Amino acid sequence: MDYRIGTGFDAHKFVEARPFILGGVTIPYEKGLLGHSDADALCHAVSDAILGAAALGDMGKYFPDTDPKWKGADSLVMLKECGRMARAKGWVVSNVDATIVCQKPKLAPYLVPMSQMIEQTLEIGPDRVNVKAKTTEGMGFEGREEGLSVQAAVLLQKEQES
């Protein structure tokens, strides 16, 4: 088997009057994330990890924030497209592991639904996506509740020919 590992990272600032969406799940909170699309930093980090592992560049190459087509776009659509591009090169997502760094709100109730949404979007089996949340105990921009960041790792494997 041929394998490839990719990593992804994203960070977004909290702002008023925007929905807070992570991993395709809308989370009740008084703030949302600032971005050209829906600012789903989890989907963006996973998308970049997939693209990186498949040697396809990064999200900016395919979904530039200068393109009005992507204004307010659903990041699950972008994630699905990244999975499709990797499959077109003969790769399938074996697993995803992601860590959200966020002081508030508490994300524990939403982690399983986020994992399931990413699995469904990428059309991979259950228990292939793990999403964790950590705080920085008040340190850094995440700790000051200015925004959040996400790190993701993806393992791709070459599709077996039938």
Token pair for residue 29? 């909170």
Q: What is the pLDDT of residues 80-91, one digit of tens each?
A: 999 999 999 999
- Assessment of whether the complete model's pTM goes beyond 0.85: yes
The confidence score (pLDDT) of residue 159 equals 81
Cβ atoms of 12 and 35 within 8 Å: the answer is yes
Query: What is the DSSP secondary-structure string of 109-133?
Result: GGHHHHHHHHHHHHT--TT-EEEEE
Listed by start position, the domains of the chain span 3-158
Average pLDDT over residues 122-138: 96
Distances (CA, A) of 58 to 8, 49, 64, 158: 9, 8, 10, 20
Q: Check pLDDT > 70 for residue 161.
A: no
Residue type (1 letter), 10: D
Express as a percent the part of the chain with pLDDT over 70.
Answer: 99
The top-level CATH class assigned to 3-158 is: alpha beta
